[in-house]
């Protein structure tokens, strides 16, 4: 599904000449267009994705949800390890590679997390580009897939080259796995998104700022540089100590949601629920 995100991102950029660019945030020059896509995603989420995720939570036993989360987290460790190496984080690469090796074998294809003592990291090619100085580019809201940036959309190309999920040869099986991963992630966000319900805030701006803060925080391993904007230009501020809010995708996967994070609710012994950096 990542190539689809890339195509959508290119299409959005191609339409920028038709969209007004009177944006309040310099990181979001396509705000009018992005808001329209956000409304589309939000409507689709309420009609389809959220009800499916709620059904998943009801019918799937807690142990089953943990095993599904562990399985996909284990596959993601391959992408994480590759990007560790590209950033010359050799000690971290050894740790993440060991997680994949032991969980794939002793953990029965990653269904069980037997490496809970090893820290779970988050790296992708979008972060690798940022690590080497590539600017994030404009903020993008991609149809169906949600928040991204130009850099993160391009980074998906690199991740797809090493992703085991993208290399599943049987198309139907591959698509079913993508769908299960999307439902799993959306189900994990149901509790977190309650923070936004009933709040008198601009949900679009809140989600955008949370996504950009989170990505900046990942690129700089939890210690991003402070950036000041003129008050009349933007009210956006990077806050590395801000609470993690729902964002899609690893910026990475197809989740139709009005929210923006990979963070999951607390579940015991689950790889996806331990994602953090040191």
Q: Render pLDDT for 5-21 as a digit per residue (tens, 0 to 9).
A: 555 555 555 444 444 44
The reply to whether the predicted model has a pTM over 0.85 is no
Token duo for residue 111: 């269904």
Parallel/antiparallel/unpaired status of strands 139-142 and 146-149:
antiparallel
Beta strands in 97-197 (DSSP E): 139-142, 146-149
Q: What is the DSSP letter of 244?
A: P
43 is written with which tokens? 């409507």
Q: Domain range holding 237?
A: 2-16+32-274
Q: Can you read off the two tokens belonging to residue 103?
A: 């969980």
Does any domain span residue 26?
no
Element holding 43 (H helix, E strand): helix 31-44
Tokens representing residue 76 in the block: 């993601």
Q: Quick one: tokens of 260?
A: 């923006």
Alpha helices for the chain (secondary structure H): 2-14, 31-44, 50-59, 62-86, 90-105, 125-131, 150-160, 171-192, 203-219
Q: Is residue 227 part of a domain?
A: yes
Q: Is 75 helix (H, G, I), strand (E, B) or coil?
A: helix
Pick the residue with more confidence: 246 or 94? 94
* Residue 27 belongs to a domain: no
Residue 85 confidence class, pLDDT cut points 50, 70, 90? very high
How many domains, the chain? 1
pLDDT tens-digit readout, 98-118: 999 999 999 999 999 999 999
Cα–Cα distance, 249 to 154 (Å, whole number):
14
């Amino acid at each position: 599904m990542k190539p689809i995100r890339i195509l959508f991102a290119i299409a959005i950029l191609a339409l920028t000449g038709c969209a007004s660019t009177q944006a309040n945030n310099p990181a979001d020059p396509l705000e009018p267009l992005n808001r329209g896509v956000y409304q589309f995603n939000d409507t689709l989420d309420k009609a389809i994705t959220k009800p499916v995720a709620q059904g998943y939570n009801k019918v799937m036993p807690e142990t089953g949800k943990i095993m599904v989360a562990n399985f996909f987290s284990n596959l993601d460790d391959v992408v994480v390890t590759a990007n560790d190496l590209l950033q010359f984080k050799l000690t971290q690469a050894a740790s993440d590679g060991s997680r994949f090796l032991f969980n794939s074998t002793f953990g029965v294809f990653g269904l069980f997390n037997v490496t809970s003592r090893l820290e779970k990291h988050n790296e992708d090619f979008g972060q690798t580009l940022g690590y080497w100085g590539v600017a994030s580019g404009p903020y993008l809201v991609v149809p169906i897939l949600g928040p991204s940036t130009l850099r993160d959309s391009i980074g998906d190309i690199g991740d797809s080259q090493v992703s085991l999920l993208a290399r599943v040869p049987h198309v139907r099986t591959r698509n079913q796995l993508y769908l299960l991963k999307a439902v799993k992630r959306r189900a994990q966000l149901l509790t977190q998104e309650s923070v936004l319900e009933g709040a008198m805030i601009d949900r679009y701006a809140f989600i955008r700022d949370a996504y950009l803060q989170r990505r900046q925080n990942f690129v700089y391993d939890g210690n991003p540089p402070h950036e000041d904007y003129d008050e009349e230009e933007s009210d956006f501020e990077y806050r590395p100590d801000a609470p993690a809010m729902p964002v899609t995708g690893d910026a990475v996967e197809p989740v139709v949601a009005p929210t923006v994070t990979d963070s999951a609710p607390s579940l015991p012994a689950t790889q996806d629920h331990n994602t953090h950096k040191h």
